[in-house]
Amino acid sequence: MPDREERFRVMLDMVGALVGPEPRVLDLACGTGSITDRLLTRFPKATSTGVDLDPALLTIAEGYFDGDRRVTFVTADLKDPEWVRKLPYEQYDAVLTATALHWLHSEPLATLYGQLAGVVREGGVFMNADHMIDGATPRINAAERAQRHAQMDGAKAAGALDWADWWALAAKDPVLAGPTAKRYEIYGEHADGDMPSPQWHAETLRTAGFAEARAVWASPSDTLLLALK
């Protein structure tokens, strides 16, 4: 994902612009803590709650941030209606997520957006950087996908690990082998969620209770959607 750092930069720019330099952040579907890592580098007085269900990725995150009192991790299934009860705070200045919620189908994602409207404080923000596909532009979509996969094939030929290779290494690691086996019991190879358009995300977030919502960054394949409470 060659534009990964650019989306994080814009995400944190908007955090600073809308909620200030000392935010309480919920890192949603946090994985290894990529957002939290960049958040604390940019805003050293921020605090972060990372929530995820993947035991392997949480093992990496907890090891990386071990001893950092600014960071807390919670194991929770975002499809569980009671997941918000596990959070250490009732409300957050910002909820941030990237390349994760496409694992959910549209109906549970809309439900999640409704829950997040209660988690984000008034004046706070939610940002989702993810694959968002406009079904009204099939030829553009096909060309973008072909070009992106050609780039990925070139990167792999040059030695980059793909998804399957990365997890194969994790399964052999003495620390990650057990958690990796558990994550395959939970998820299988990959989820088959939806990738609705940016317009769908914005409309669904407004319906859920956010006052404003629109894209603040986009690549040919992905969009950073910002919703303001």
Beta strands in 10-148 (DSSP E): 24-28, 47-52, 71-75, 92-98, 120-131
Q: Which DSSP letter does residue 75 get? A: E
Average pLDDT of the residues in 110-137 = 97
Q: In this predicted structure, what is the pLDDT of residue 204?
A: 98
Q: Which of 3-12, 80-89, 181-190 has the lowest mean pLDDT?
A: 181-190
**85 token code pair:** 């009860």
Average pLDDT of the residues in 169-198 = 89
pLDDT mean across residues, the chain:
95
pLDDT digits (tens, 9 = 90+) for 90-106: 999 999 999 999 999 99
Q: Band of the pLDDT at 39, cuts 50, 70, 90?
A: very high
Stated as kind and residue range, the H or E segment containing 19 is helix 4-19
In the chain, % of residues over pLDDT 90: 93
Q: Which residues of 137-169 are buried (b: 16+ CB within 10 A; e: fewer)?
A: eeeeeeeeeeebeeeeeeeeeeeeeeeeeebee
Question: Residues for the chain: how many in total?
Answer: 229
**112 token code pair:** 């999640």
3-state secondary structure of 87: coil
Q: Band of the pLDDT at 188, cuts 50, 70, 90?
A: confident
Q: Are 166 and 57 in contact (CB under 8 A)?
A: no
pLDDT at 32 over 70: yes
Q: What's the predicted TM-score (pTM) here?
A: 0.95
